[in-house]
Amino acid sequence: QSGWTLRILEALFFNKKLITNNINILTSEIYSESRFFIIGHDDWDKLEYFINSSVKPMDYDSLYKFSPDKMMSTIVSDFIDK
């Protein structure tokens, strides 16, 4: 799988960490070593540190880009522009 799943958005909005095998998250603006542990990329020896370390919350503007409000705004805007 190369696309995002709901799990990624849930991790962002609920300020949780995510262990995933989706290496494409590395090139995303939301990627943070403190939030994502990527199986097949990150060193297994660092997993315990990842789990026990804190995660920095994302700022509101970054989160808003992925919010239902923004999605609806985009849909309405696209509809009106056509």
76 within some domain:
yes
Check pLDDT > 80 for residue 1. no
Give the separation between CA 76 and CA 19, rounded to whole angstroms: 34
- Answer yes or no: are the C-beta atoms of 37 and 31 closer than 8 Å: no
What residues pair up with 19 in beta bridges, in sequence order? 37
Average pLDDT on 27-35 reads 93
- Per the structure, the count of domains in the chain is 1
Is 27 among the domain residues? yes
pTM as predicted: 0.81
| Strand partners of residue 38 | 20
CA distance 77 to 13: 24
Look at residue 15 and tell me if it is in a domain: yes
Q: Is residue 46 part of a domain?
A: yes
19 neighbors 1 (Cβ within 8 angstroms): no
pLDDT in tens, 3-20: 888 899 999 999 999 999
Residue 34 lies in domain: 6-81
